[in-house]
Every structure is written in structure tokens, then in C-alpha cells.
Chains A and B, each alone.
Chain A
Amino acid sequence: MNNVQLIARHFVKTVFRSNVFIPVFTVWLALIIYAAVTGYTTYIRENKVRAAYQKKARESWEANPDKHPHRMAHFGSFAFRMKHPLSMFESGMESYTGNAVYLEAHKQNTVNFSEAGFSTGLLRFGEISVAMLLQLVLPLILFFLGFGAVAQHRENGTLKILLSQGAGFRAIVWGNSIGLFSIGIIFLLPVLVSMLLVVAIQNQAIPNAGLLIRSVVIAGSALIFLWIVSVVAICVSTAGKTSAAALLQLLGIWLIWAIVLPKTLQAIGSYLHPAPAKIQFETAVEADLLKLGDSHNPDDEHYKKLKDSVLRANKVDSVQQLSFNYSGFQMQEGERMSARLYNEHLQRLYDIYDKQNNVSYNAAFIDPFISFKNIAMAFSGTDFTAYRHFQQQAESYRYNLAQTMNSLQMKYISNKKLGSNDKPYSIERSHWTTFPDFRYQYQDLRAIAKQQCIALLSLLSWLLSSLCCIYYTSGKAKAI
């Protein structure tokens, strides 16, 4: 064990002494600070703006005078998607998902105004976030610092000396891996500090965000990820014939893991499981809705039957004798059915998306970069399920709003038809203020952990295989 420590310490010392360490670390530090600061200010600014508009929307909702509740169902409300504080760390899919949705009766609107829609096309190159630097740039740096670790000793002939002095290959690979990993930790430090700062500042302000645990999971995965990268670098360096060959192999591995696979696999996923275009989706929804009946059409078959059964159940022979407002009841029924139908279609669409994404998710077992990326996105609240979580909340708020207004109509509006000169029916405005505003809840941690079990599992399996890799490589290694 002593040899391992010695070699690790020697590796770290050599890196520190080399003339590239300081400039590389300085650039790294500058990039991390830039990414963290822009990430954090974006988070603060966007959430401030969105909260302000949520409040504004609420104020004009509450400012409505006494009126018919169905007018309020159409007046509707908005849901603004709040960013999670850790989105400063990993921007994930946030830029590609919409940020605001108009919630009204009878209609599920799209979540609009994504950053991608406003992009000049530069977004295609990716965004600079702390996680992106960790996932793409740091492995490149570690490969660069580690490619010569063993291969160069072999080229210089110092490897023979090292071996003859009693250090086995196993100790050499272990020691260098630990050495490179320690360098990785040094590079990780500014990231950890920035995360710690966010936790310290925001944990009080947003107690339900699960900031501490999320950060711990991300930091832990980052450590495992860096360990895997370090081991790969050292093993390739040990197995490579020359240091040049080792470097080329490492660069190739980086290209495949970091750039080629993530993109190709997603393209394969969407090729294998084609999703319908919006127009096809909407046509299908409308066709099914028409089968259910049209709640606006007085002669509709379905609603005629509904009316008859309601009249029979209440033992009356006309709508006017009912103790509740019938058109409120009919709309409640219509909303219930159309919402269920729409959500079924949406679920089917999302099932297709899930199938597409599963190609990438499962590929985490052949690409540790994907495991780490998925974990980072999920625990930063910036992945697809986080977005769906928002969308579901918005939809259930919309549904609740429409149905509450329908209930108010059933309860307070008379069945009697108004003459053209009568004052229109209305109910008191206090009903508007008692209906609560939309409030976004972050995802439950257990749910995230469950969704990410493949990625977490794959990272652990990578950890295990890294140990196997060390034993295998050191068993096969040659001194010359």
C-alpha cells in the first residue's frame, strides 16, 4: 500500500511541477467561475421575472368584478415554470422546454416561449454550464495529464527501474489512478465550492427544493465519474505501446463517449420510434373528442342521453326544475371527458418519447458520460421528467380551475333563461380570491431516484468495472 501512496504522491507532484498545470488550471477556474456566475444570475433573474409575472397575472385575476363563473373559466390563469436553484449547475433541457402556459377551460395549451425558440441558432453548439465543463472539458484535461503517466516511463526506461525496485504493476496503476483522481478532485473543488455556496444561500429561501441531498448526489456522481475517467486514462497509458498512441486512443475514447454516442443514440432512438407531428396528434384528439360528443352542440346524441338520465335520476321532467344549474353540470361532464381523453393521448405521445429516450438511458452502460449527464440533469431539476412534472401540475391546476368554476355555476346560477333586457347572472368576486394561485412544487427526491435508477446503477457498475480494469491491465502490462 505504501508503494501506491508513493506513486500517487509522485504523480501529483509531477503534475504540479509541470509548466502546463498553472495555465490550464487558471483557464479552468475562469471558465467555472464564468459558468457558475452566469448560471446563478440567470436562475435569479428568470425566477424573479417569472414570479413577478405570476403575481401580475394573479392580481388581474383577483381584480375581476362580480360575474358569471364561466367567464372566469375562460379568463383563465397562467403557470410559469420556476427554475430549480441547481439549474445554475446543469442547464440540461431547460432551454428547450417552454416556460409559460395559458390555462383556460376546454383547452390544453402548449407551454410556450422556450429559450431555444428565441435562439439565433448558436444554442446548437451547446451551452456553457458547470456540468458541461465537468462532462466535456475536464475529462479532456485529465486524459491530457494522464496519458503519459505509465507510457512515458516505459519510453524513458524508468518503468524498468520502478519495477525492479519492487513496485508491482498493480501498485503502479493504482497509484497513478489515485494520483490522477486527486488532480481531478482539485479541479472539482471550485465546482463544489460554488454548489456549497448555492446551498448555503438558497437552502433557507427554498426549503422544499431538497437542495442538500440533490447536491450530495450530484457531487458523489461527479466523484465516481472522475474516478472512472482517471482509471481509463491510466489503463490506456499502461496498455499503450507509446505515449503518443495512448493519447490518440484517449482522444478517440473522448470523442466517442462525449460527442458521438450521445448524439447518435438519440438520433437512433427517434428513428426507431417515430413520434407523430403536432397536426396528426391534434387531429387524432379531435376525432376522438367528436366520438364523445360535443358539449356545445345542443342536439348532440351523447349529451341528450346525459340530460335524460339526469332528469330521471332527479325525478323531474325539465331542466328548470333541477336544484342545480344544468349547463354547469354538462360542462363539468364535458371537461372531465375531454381532459381525460387529451391526457390519454398525451401519455401515449410521452410513451413514445420515453421509448426514444430509453435508448440513451440504457446506453449509460456503454457510456459513463451519459450516466453522469442523466444524473446531473435529473437532480438539477432540468431533465424531461422535471418538465413533465411541471406540465402535469399546470394541467391539474387548469382542470381544477375549470371544474371549480363549473361547480360554482351549478351551485349559484339559476336554470332560468334570461330575457334580452335582464341583468346577466353573476356571482360575487370573493370566489375568485378564494381560489388559490398556481404554485409550482419541485419534484420529490424519491421519484427522481426511482427514475434515475438505471443511470445510478450504471455508474456503480462502471465503478466496479474500473476496478476490474485496473486488475486486468496490470496483469497484462509489459515493462518494455
Chain B
Amino acid sequence: MYILLFRNFIRSRSVLVALMLFFTVGIISIIIGRQFLLKQEAAIESVTRFQQAHIERNTQFIKNDFGLLMYYLKFAYINKPAPIAALAIGQRDVNAAIQSFTIRGLEAQRYDTDLYNPYNLMTGNFDLSFVIVFLLPLLIIAFNFNLLSQEKESGTWPLVNVQANQPLGFILQKLSIRFVVVLSLLLSLLLLAKFIIGIPVDNAFAAYSIIAILYCIVWFGISFLIIAMQKNTSMNALLLLSAWAVFCLLIPGLVNNYITAKYAVPEAYSTLLKQRDGYHTKWDKNKDSTMQAFFSHYPEYRKYVWTKPAFNYLWFYAMQQLGDDEAREDSKAMQQKLVKRMLVSTRASLFFPVMHTQLQFSNIASAGLQQQLQYLDGTVYFHERLRHYFYPKVFGDSAVANEKWKMHVPEYFTADVRIRWLPLTLPLFIASLILYGAGVFVFKRNDLFK
């Protein structure tokens, strides 16, 4: 019986066409993800080469002024994407993966954006996450919307009802066939992605796959609930598509609008202004007070004697540092706002599987806001390390030739992604339980009233 049902389903021409179409779209999305990854890797490689050439050229130009040399020298700090980022590009297309810093004020450098075409960003990436989050539900809907109503409308339902002693069991059987088909499609896409992109099978990949499967189960649950209402075919199609529009477009949009309005980030602008004023006004201020402020931030540099010349690099970099110091409070406030945004959207997503899946995909691939904030935090430490390494050479006016310039290669940042299985999977489990429970309840109640 089960095999017959299975054959009956898979033999349908439109089902095959839909499967082929979806498979192709899935492969295209994997290739687009790979393209993105390759582009980032190429950029990382060229920044490595560029940095070497850049240092070489400048050290040839400026041979005996360490302070002036450090005005120009840039050092890259790279947020390198893991292979799995090809499956969930997330925020990585918006946020620059490579930032290069001089030892001058950090706050004037670390928010620089990448170059991109905003039209591309607006339409969004066609990655596997998009295919799974947005398109897979449509396939599930297309498979399921007339699962029961077709039998009713073609007059076969009474027959089934008589023959099968459990009409609910029959529906679940039909659903499970479709689930097996969708599951094999999904798994084969994931497997292909693994080989095409070269994703290691690790916790992250496992988490990605499990979330994807649970997400499918949720959409089968939504379909089941609507089937159980036993409306006609058109009504089912309409209800399911409306559910898709509500969960995939309207609710996330509403939540996003709410977060954007509630947690506006004017601190970004004040950081910008404070940094500029903090540094530039020092040119006209008392030099001693600048130096005192610098020395009280970094007492370890007190040993460099300040002799009040018209200009020297000790004073110059002290002024730069004060720009950062004066902007730091605002930039911290900005970060806290963003953390707030993240918390609110994570909390809201617990109730909406679509949002949860999208956000978790990005998190797993370390392509979310959380990882971006970690990276931004990382730039502070990177910049601090850089300064403490070069400050003594600048202040002590070391010879440029004595420095081992070859060792100054780009540094990499890796986000700390811990996969916590319970918060990851529980929202989807609970949503499924509710949906299937409600489906059974509605179906039984409908049967009673007949």
C-alpha cells in the first residue's frame, strides 16, 4: 500500500518537474555561495600580497622616520569566512570581511564599509539558506495543498474512508511519502554542497542540516494543520500561500521595522563626530594636557621624555589616541544598542520558526550580527596590539631597517561559534508539536461534526 502510494506520487509529471526545478535552483544557489566564497578568498589573498608590497614600498621611501612611516602603513585584520558561510552568506555581504588599519585613530577606520551594489543587497543573496528558508516551503505547499481535497473532489475519499480504518493514518501516510521525497531532495543538496564547496563535516554542518530538516518538518506541520481543516483545494492553496507570505514576509518585516524604530543608532554619528573633534582640536590645545591624558591612559610610556618640541610623533600619536578615547564611550553605547537589537530579534525568533531558521543559519556559518560584533570587538584588540608593538619604535625613533617587516602579515579573526543544541532545536520542536497536535485535534473535531 505504502509503496503503491509512493509510486503514485512520484510518477506524476508535475511532481517530477517540480523536483527537477528545485534541484537545479538548489545547485545554482550552491554555486552562487561558492562564488561568494571564492571572491572573498581571492580578496584575502590579494590583501596579503598587497600588504607586503605596500610595506616594502613605504619602507624604501621613508627610511629614517619611523613616526612618519607608521602614518602610512596599513595592517589587515581579516574576518575569514569558513566554507559553510557559502551556504549562509547572512550579513557577510554587507559587512566588510577585510579591514586594514594604520596605528592612527581606530574609530575613524573600523566602520569603513565595503564596496557593493546596493541593488544586489536589496534583492539579497541567492544562497542555499534562501532556497531552504523561502523556496522549500513553497515546494512543500505545492506537494501538500490538495493532498486530501483532491481525493474529496475527485470522489475517491469515501472509498478510502471505507477501506482504510484510519482516515487520519491515511493522510499521515501520504504526508510522510512527500516528506521522504523532500527530505531526500534536501539531503542530496546538502551532500552536493559538501562536495562542491568542500565543507568539513563538523558540528556546524550537522547543526545546519538538522535545522534544515526540522524546518521542513515545521512546514509539513503547517500543511497538515491546513489540510486537517478539510477546505476545498483553492482555499487550501490560498491559506497555505498566505501563511507563507505572513511568516516569510510580513512578520519578519514587522519585527525588523519595530527593532529599527525602537533601537535607532544615533550613537554611530556621535562616535564619528567625537573622534574627529577629539583628535583634531588637540592641534590647538595645550600640548602638555594632551600628553598628560595620554600618559595617564598608558603610564608605561612615561619613560619617553616629553621635551615640548613644535612637533614630534609622540605628541601626534597621543592626539590620535585621544580621538579614540573621547569617542570610546559613544562607540560602546553603539555596540550595546546593537547587542540589544540582537537579543530582541533572537527572542522574537523563538516564536517564529522562519526567523529562527534564518538567524540560526547565519549564526552557524558565523555570518550574523553577533559575529560581526565580535569582529568589531576584535579590531580593538588588534589595533591595541599593533600600537603597543610600534609605539616604542616610534617614540624611541628606531631604525626602519632594523624591523623585521616580513613578519607583518595579515591577522585572522575567527568568531567563537558554540553550537548550543537545545536553544537551536527546541523552538522548532515545540512549533512542530503544536502544529501536529492542532492538526490532529482539528481533524478529529471536523470528523465528529460530520
Contacts and interface: CB of A to CB of B under 8 A. Distances in A.
B35 interface: yes
Interface in A387-424: 387, 420-421, 424
Interface stretch (B3-11, B90-98, B421-429): B90-98
In which size bucket is the chain A interface? 35 or more
Interface string B217-248: 00000000000000011100110011001001
B336 to A, nearest CB: 12
A121 B369 contact: yes
Nearest to B266: A49
Nearest to B95: A117
A21 interface: no
A275 B309 CA distance: 48
A248 B241 CA distance: 10
Contacts of B359: 120-122
B376 to A, nearest CB: 10
A58 B386 CA distance: 33
A357 interface: yes
A267 to B, nearest CB: 4
Contact of B138 (A75, A255, A264, A349): A255
Given A93-B122, A118-B341, A121-B368, A126 B249 contact: yes
A387 B116 CA distance: 12
A64 interface: yes
A275 B42 CA distance: 13
A187 interface: no
Interface string B40-82: 1011001100100000010001000000000000000000000
Interface stretch (B178-186, B250-258, B392-400): B250-258
B253 A96 contact: no
A97 B114 CA distance: 11
A251 B245 CA distance: 12
B124 interface: yes
A117 B372 CA distance: 9
Contact of B253 (A71, A111, A127, A267): A127
Contact of A356 (B119, B138, B341): B119
A57 B273 contact: yes
B270 interface: yes
Interface in A118-135: 118-128, 132
Interface string A264-305: 101101110011111111010000001000100100000000
A329 interface: no
A38 interface: yes
A127 B121 CA distance: 13
A255 B369 CA distance: 30
Interface stretch (A136-144, A175-183, A218-226): A136-144
Given A115-B260, A140-B245, A278-B115, A64 B269 contact: no
A119 B256 contact: yes
Nearest to B253: A128
Nearest to B112: A110
Contact of B121 (A71, A96, A255, A269): A96
Given A267-B126, A278-B43, A353-B117, A112 B112 contact: yes
A127 B256 contact: yes
A384 interface: yes
Q: Which of A57, A93, A111, A125 has the most C-beta atoms of chain B within 10 angstroms of its own C-beta?
A: A125
A111 to B, nearest CB: 7
Contacts of B124: 124, 263
B120 A356 contact: yes
Contacts of B201: none
A471 interface: no
Q: Which of A31, A35, A118, A243 has the most CB of B within 10 A?
A: A118
A247 interface: yes
A384 B118 CA distance: 7
Given A114-B113, A116-B121, A144-B238, A45 B108 contact: no
B95 A67 contact: no
Interface in B24-39: 32, 35, 39
A170 interface: no
B261 A42 contact: yes
Contacts of A204: none
Contacts of B57: 290
B260 A357 contact: no
B97 to A, nearest CB: 9
B120 A280 contact: no
B345 interface: yes
A56 interface: yes
A174 B49 CA distance: 67
Contacts of A184: none
Interface in B298-327: 309-310
B268 A100 contact: yes
A38 B91 contact: no
A60 interface: yes
Contacts of A74: 280
Interface string B102-130: 00000010011111111111111110001
B202 interface: no
B75 to A, nearest CB: 13
B119 A116 contact: no
B115 A96 contact: no
Interface in A356-387: 356-357, 360, 384, 387
A420 B359 CA distance: 60
Contacts of A283: 46, 50
B120 A118 contact: no
Contact of B113 (A112, A121, A262, A276): A112
A46 to B, nearest CB: 8
B283 interface: yes
A93 B121 contact: yes
Interface string A163-175: 0000000000000
Given A96-B121, A360-B119, A121 B91 contact: yes
Given A113-B111, A119-B94, A127-B257, A97 B118 contact: yes
Contacts of B345: 120-122
B284 interface: yes
B253 A120 contact: no
A438 interface: no
Given A98-B113, A128-B250, A42 B269 contact: no
A207 B136 CA distance: 48
B100 to A, nearest CB: 8
Contacts of B233: 244
Contacts of B342: 120
B132 interface: no
Contact of A93 (B119, B257, B268, B338): B119
Contacts of A113: 111, 265, 268-269, 272
B272 to A, nearest CB: 6
B98 A278 contact: yes
A136 B260 contact: no
Interface in A174-233: none
A57 B122 CA distance: 31
Contact of A275 (B117, B265, B268): B117
A356 B359 CA distance: 28
Contacts of A117: 94-95, 111, 113
5 contacts: A112-B268, A124-B124, A267-B125, A274-B39, A290-B57
- By Cβ-Cβ distance, the 4 closest A-B pairs, closest first, are A125-B252, A128-B253, A120-B345, A266-B123
Given A96-B122, A124-B358, A144-B238, 13 more contacts: A74-B280, A93-B121, A110-B112, A114-B113, A116-B94, A117-B94, A117-B95, A125-B355, A264-B126, A267-B126, A277-B46, A278-B96, A424-B310
